Every structure is written in structure tokens, then in C-alpha cells.
Structure 1
């Protein structure tokens, strides 16, 4: 039954991420359908990600009162309703509400489901988080093609009706397989949200490790196509292919990185990923030939997506069961709120006249500074690596 529950969660996370990324390939059809410009639809896309960030800490509080698997069920209901509402939207405000609702469902899902995975497989957290993340990443690869196929046969609304139907089905399946016989008692141990804040050290260190890199990554992938067309001289079709390569490389990254982090010293492994991303970012500004850009794009996609299962595994591993979900919610919510600003900052800098390469090299310098600080903290033993009998990281 535990295997069935894990398989259902992997299907669930595919749909959750499906909802988050489905708007991007539908930008032009949505502009035409609602008679608005790119700024208005850009706000709709942003609302999905803000919605994914904002509920994480409040849901962490909710998890001190409601079992995790029941919160996951609630996110399934919300995703079903939000997707159906989006598909039925007849005005831009309705579309915005629907997009925000889809984002809320995704944020609530991640902070309730990821700690649950750690309780289901305490001896293989990295492996299951990696497989779960790979299932999520598959949506980013599949959705653009699926959207094209659906649009050829129907309208943009069909994409969200498909999501609503699939979300309802998986929610029903989850309700059947997630019960007291499959969910460990430790998965419902969180009862004191304020006590979770006592574990501020792994929370803050985790946020620093992922937020700086994630901030740069958010800006980079959202402007990857314009960068490739305006700076590297690629056609829009080729630039779009490069973006697909970035996401496709994330599929094996989640799988293998989740396994590696179970076997390697976790913090040095995460810092090595950070360094590799800086090298890729600098290299991207230097190369110009199509084969070289393809290689750098693929390597960068693999590297950046490797950090997410590794960091989740580390944070979950140093948090005690009785505060794990609430503390993870604080970590996840704070990190994503900081990361989400990357696109806005990069867009503003380009709009006021800075060159892409100059901005990327500046970002690389900032990431290098963060890496030096983190490495120094690791050398002096500032990173928690275990949990004592009282549940306090040491």
C-alpha cells in the first residue's frame, strides 16, 4: 500500500506542476481570447507562481492541526476546482483568480507532500524525493507539446478541463490509498508551529543555499528564449528547443541527484552543484556556436535541477519528525518568495539598458560570493548534520 501511495503522489505532482507550467505555452491563445496584451497575460503567469509561494507558511501552520495526507487531499480538490474555474473563465479577472488558485494548490501540495515522502521512506529520502521531483519535471517537458496538440484539436480551455478531470481522478485514488494503515504515525506529529521556528539554523541555511541560485535561475529560464534570439542570434524555434532541452535535462537530474545525495556528504555535494552552475552561467556568456550552446544548455539544465532534490533531502534530514512539515513549510515558502523576484529584476535591468551578458556575469559574481560564505560556514561547522534526542540539530 505504501508503494501505491508513493505512485499516486508521483502522479499527483505531475498534475500540480502541469497546472503551474500550462499557462506559458498558452500565452498567445489567451491574449487572443481575452483581447489583451502581453503584460496582462504576463501578470496571469506571475499569479500562478505567487500563488505557489504564498500559502506555504500558512499551510505549515495548518499541518500542526490536520494530518498531512488530508491536506494533500484538500490540494487535489482545490486543483480540480481551480482548473475548472480557469477553463470556464469569461473575463480576465476570472482567469487571474483561476491562475492564482492553481498556484495555491501547488504550493500547499509541496509543503504537505514532500515531508510525507520523508516519513514514508526514512532510509531513502533522497531517492524518493528525486523520483517525485522527476515526475514533476516531466510535466514541464510534456506540457508544451501537449498544449500544441490540444490547441490543434480544440481550444485553450480544453487544456484546463483535461487538468481538472485528471486532478479529480487522482484525488479519488489518493483518498482510497492514503489511510491510517499506509501513513506513518510520525507523519502527523507536527503540533506546534512556533516550536518549528526553533530550528531556524537549517531553515536559514537552506534558504540561503537555494534562494540565491533560484533567484538567478528564475530570471535565466524565463528570459532564455529572448537571450538566445537577441544575443546568440538563434531563430525563435531553435531558442524554444534550447529551453526544452533545459527542462528535459532536469528529468534525469532529479532521479540521479536524489540517489547521489543519499550516498555523498550532503552539504559539499550541494556546494559543488552551486559551483557548477556558476561555471555554466559564465560559460554561457562566452560560447556562441550552436553545438556549444546546446551542450552548455543541457549541462546547465542538469546541474540546476540537481540542487532541488539534494537540498530538500538535506533539510528534511536535519529536521525532527515532530516539527518537520512546519519547518519545511517555512523554508520552502521563504525560499520561493525570494526566488520569484529573479525574473522581475532581470527584466527591469534589461529594460533600462543593461546587456544580458553583463547582468549574467554580475549574477555569477554574486553567486560566487555566496558560495565562498557558505563554504566558510561549512568549514567552521555551522551546518547542522544530525538531530539529537531533543530534536535539535547539532
Structure 2
């Protein structure tokens, strides 16, 4: 094996592993909604609001993380975020009231929230000629956290006898041990990243080139949205994020309550949503070759059609719903690296770190609202109307992206 090639991709590998852990801990919560409701006696709206709080904390860190990384360095910000997320995960061990669990979720949201914006800029600088491919690998590895999380939840909620005995010595429910393991691994990755990555970076990759003139102001960042194409693209990202986060938060419950599947089958289909994440390797590379918008429009169109099918064919059984969930996963994951690569290219270099943070703050804020909204609507009208709204949101994103493509 070529040692030089291994070292070349060490930055990408460690960045992607931390992102995997961040996505893992995020998507461990939705499969736990039923156990949480049973343990704490809370409603769909309550668990949805808790997950929205997690996502809101994540969203609020997008802009400051980008600007801070430009000043103190991406390596320090990424390592600090992993450490904070690890400490928040360890706090879940303690059997405490529901509000304490929500507090720990907020800390994890803060820790994971600093990663993606900073990672995108770092990898774009380290791999300038292969940005789409590098971001495709980052998101592919990260999305596998969603594949592993539901299976890990099942393992810890209903552990085999060999695992049940040591888990019984921990306080509270068995599933809390899952977050202990996550916390320990997060702290180890934070330390490894801080030690290994700085020596692997090209010049100016950590903080970017030294700027001439004053630091960008808030007015400079707001001026970005005076560009109608950037504003329209931000709408695309917001509409998709709202729909995607609302879907992933409640898909297991939707499949069991609205579609009539048993809990185990619903969890397996939820894993399938993330199992197709490898499509990002293809979509990122294709967008480098064919252009960003053709791939984006195809991905959004497929995701919209799949969500419409999940609503319209809710009673069609596990096989049909499984195909639709896979199609939703292909479209949703296929969009991610292309969206990120387009933003990196569209934003001016001097505003790239903070500008990307602003866009991701808006995008993830919309995503943060979605679980609370879907949970409340499901309590009032049921899951099918809630998911129909989510399908409409993806459809609107697809139409605007198609308009941007047509007018490029």
C-alpha cells in the first residue's frame, strides 16, 4: 500500500469518522421515541420538541463555527466540538427527569453543530480538485451513522443475555449505555484529530489565506442574499431540510402507526433510508463532471416522488414501502455533496467560512423546527397529513432548483 496515499486521505478519514459519530448520535434518538414515551409518559409533541431543541442547538452553531474556525483554525474547532458532544453523550448515563435528558441533547447538539460547516471548508481546501468526491465520501460515511444507529438501539434496548448482565449494573434503562460508548469514542476521536491532522494539512488549509482589509461585517453576509440566485438556492436548501428532518425524526413511528408495520420492520426500513448513502460517492463525482444542477434536480425529484408514494401507499405493505424508503434515501443523500459543493463555489472566498455558516444556520433552523411541527400536527390530525406536507416541501424545492437550472 502506498503510504503517501494513506497520509493524503488521513484528514478526510478522521473528519468523516467524527461526522459518522455525530450522525450516529443524532439518529439514535428517533428509534428511541417509543421507549422514551413509555419511560417518561410524554407525547409525540414532547419528544418532537426535544429533538427540535437538539437540532436548534446544532443549527445555531453553524455560523459562529465557520467564523471562529477562520480565526483559530478548523482543527481546533472540530476537535472541541467532538469533545463537547462526547461529554454530552456521557451525561445521558444518569437516570434523571426528562428535562435533564433534553439538556444533554442540547449539549450534544452544540458539539455536533460545529462540525459540518468547518469540515466542508477544510476539505475543500485540502482537496480542491476533488471537492465533490471528498464531500461525497464525508456525507457517505456520516450517513452510515443512520444505518448503524437503529440496529444499535435495538441491541441496547433488548440486549442478548451476554450483554444484559453488565448493562443491568448501570443506572436507568439499558439504552443509556449506548451513549456512554458514544461519548468515549467521541473523546478518543477528538484527541486523535488534534494530534494527527495539523501535520497533514497544506499551507493555509487550517485557517485559509490571510485576508487583506477588515474582517467581514454582518452587512457583508446579509448582502449575499441580494443575489437572487443565491436567495433562491437558499430556499431550496431550507425547503428540503424542513422535509428531510421532519421525515427522519418520525419515520419509524409513521411506519408503525400510519402504515401498520411492526416495530422491528419499521426500524429495519429506517436503517434502509441511510443504507443507500453510498450514492453520494456517485452523485458528488457526477456533479464534478456534469454540473451541480442536473444532479440536484434529479435527486430532489426522486425524493419528492418517494415521499408522495409513502403517503399515498401507506397501507401497501413492507415491500412497497421499503422500495419507496430506499428511493427517498437515494434522492436525499444524493443531494448532499452536490448542495455543499455548489455553495462553496458560489460564495466569495472572503465570506466563504461565515457565509456557509449563515446558509447552514438558516437551513438547519428550518430542519430544527420540523420535528416539533410534525409531532404536533400528528397529535392533532395524524401522521399522513403531516407527511403529505413534508412531501409538498420537497416538491417545492425540486421546482425551484429546476428553475435555477433552466435559467443558468
Taking structure 2 as the reference length, the TM-score comes to 0.83
In structure 1, the gaps of 5 or more residues are: 382-394
| Partners of 1:98 and 1:227 in 2: CA distance | 26
Distance 1:85 1:119 in 2: 35
Question: What per-residue deviation string (whole Å, max 9, x for no partner) do you get for residues 319-340 of structure 1?
Answer: 3443222111111111111122
Q: 2:131 aligns with which of 125, 129, 132?
A: 125
Match status 1:139 vs 2:167: no
Aligned to 2:279: 253
Aligned to 1:76: 82
Deviates more, 1:211-220 or 1:363-372: 363-372
2:54 aligned with 1:48, yes or no? yes
Superposed counterparts of 1:1-394, under 5 Å: 1-27=7-33, 30=36, 35-38=40-43, 40-88=46-94, 90-151=96-157, 152=159, 153=163, 154=167, 155-179=174-198, 182-189=201-208, 192-194=215-217, 195-200=220-225, 201=227, 203-249=230-276, 251-287=277-313, 288-353=316-381, 356=384, 360-361=387-388, 363-365=390-392, 367-381=394-408
Task: Using the TM superposition, name which of 270-279 and 364-373 deviates more.
Answer: 364-373
- Aligned partners of 1:362 and 1:44: how far apart in 2? 21
Question: Relative to structure 1, is the Cα distance of residues 108 and 258 closer, same or farther in structure 2, using a 3 angstrom cutoff?
Answer: same
Between stretches 134-143 and 238-247, larger displacement belongs to 238-247
**Number of the residue aligned with 1:387:** none
Number of residues paired by the alignment?
378
8 Å Cα contact 1:60-1:193 kept in structure 2: no
Q: Is there any run of 5+ residues in structure 2 with no aligned partner, and where?
A: 1-6, 168-173
Cα distance, 1:61–1:193 mapped onto 2, change above 3 Å: farther
Q: Distance in 2 between matches of 1:315 and 1:322?
A: 14
Corresponding residue number in structure 1 for 2:3: none
What's the TM-score once normalised by structure 1's chain length?
0.86
Q: Is the Cα–Cα contact under 8 Å of residues 67 and 187 in structure 1 kept in the other structure?
A: yes
- Cα distance change of structure 1 residues 364 and 126 upon mapping to structure 2, 3 Å threshold: same
RCO higher in structure (CA 8 A, sep ≥6): 2
CA apart distance, 1:146: 2.0
Q: In the TM superposition, what is the alpha-carbon distance from 1:373 to its structure 2 partner? A: 3.9
- For the 8 Å contact 1:79–1:105, the answer to whether it is kept is yes
Displacement of 1:254 in angstroms is 2.3
